[in-house]
Amino acid sequence: MEKRHNDAVKSLEDIAERFYDQLEKGEIPEMKISTRSKNNIVFNKKMGVWKYGRSKSSRSAKKLKGARMILRTLYMMDFIRDMIGDEKSSTLREMYYISEGWDKAKFGDQSESDRLAEDMEIVTDCLREDFKLRPEEDGARLIGDITIKERTRKGDIREINCRDDVGDSGYTIPYNVEEDKVNFGDLGVDFLIAIETGGMFDRLVENGFDETANALLVHLKGQPARSTRRMIKRLNEEEGLPVVVFLDGDPWSFRIFASVAYGAINSAHLSEFLATPTAEYVGITASDILNYDLPTDKLSKNDKKALEQELEDPRFNTRFWKDEIETMLEINKKAEQQALAKYGLDYVTDTYLPEKLGELGFF
In this prediction, residue 61 has a pLDDT band, given cuts at 50, 70 and 90, of: confident
Please state, in angstroms and rounded to a whole number, the distance separating the CA atoms of residues 220 and 166. 18
Mean pLDDT comparison of 74-88, 113-127, 334-348, highest-scoring range: 334-348
Buried b (16+ CB within 10 A) or exposed e, 292-304: bebebeebeeebe
Q: Give CA angle at 222 (323, 362), nearest 5°.
A: 60
Dihedral angle of Cα 305, 308, 309, 310, to the nearest 10 degrees: 120
Mean pLDDT of 127-141: 79
Write down the pLDDT at residue 239: 94
Give residue 220's pLDDT: 92
Q: What is the DSSP string of 200-239?
A: HHHHHHHTTHHHHTTEEEEE--SS--HHHHHHHHHHHHHH
Q: Which of 150-164, 207-221, 245-259, 296-310 has the lowest mean pLDDT?
A: 150-164
Three-state secondary structure call for residue 240: coil
Three-state secondary-structure class, residue 124? helix
Q: Is the per-residue pLDDT at 44 higher than 70?
A: yes
Q: Which residues are catalytic?
A: 97
* Residues 227 and 176: beta-carbon distance below 8 Å: yes
pLDDT for the residue 146: 95
Q: What is the pLDDT of residue 268?
A: 67
| Fold matches, 3-134 and 141-360 | no
The dihedral through the CA atoms of 277, 222, 240, 135 has a sign that is: positive
pLDDT tens digits along 166-203: 888 899 998 888 888 899 999 999 999 999 998 899 99
- pTM given for the model: 0.78
What number is the average pLDDT over the span 239-250? Answer: 96
CATH class held by domain 3-134: mainly alpha
Binning pLDDT at 50, 70 and 90, where does residue 92 land?
confident
pLDDT of residue 288: 96
Predicted pLDDT at 138 = 62
The reported pLDDT for the residue numbered 106 is 84
Q: How confident is the model at residue 1 (pLDDT cuts 50, 70, 90)?
A: low
DSSP string, 167-178: -TT-EEPPS--S
Query: What pLDDT band is residue 234 in, cutting at 50, 70 and 90?
Result: very high
Q: Is 22 exposed, middle or buried (0-12, 13-18, 19+ CB in 10 A)?
A: middle
Q: pLDDT at position 137, please?
A: 64
Question: pLDDT band for position 122 (50/70/90)?
Answer: confident
* Extents of the domains making up the chain: 3-134, 141-360
Q: What CA–CA distance (Å, rounded) separates 314 from 104?
A: 40
* Torsions phi, psi for 233 (to 5 deg): -60, -45
> How many angstroms from the chain centroid is the CA of residue 179?
18
- The DSSP code sequence of 90-101 is EEHHHHHHHGGG
Burial class for 158, CB neighbours closer than 10 Å (0-12, 13-18, 19+) = exposed
DSSP-assigned beta bridge partners for residue 161? 147
**pLDDT for 309:** 92
| 87: three-class secondary structure by DSSP | coil
Nearest to 322 by CA among 254, 229, 221: 254
Q: How confident is the model at residue 278 (pLDDT cuts 50, 70, 90)?
A: very high
Domain 141-360 belongs to what topology?
A: Dna Topoisomerase Vi A Subunit; Chain: A, domain 2 (3.40.1360)
Most confident of 2-11, 91-100, 269-278, 324-333: 324-333
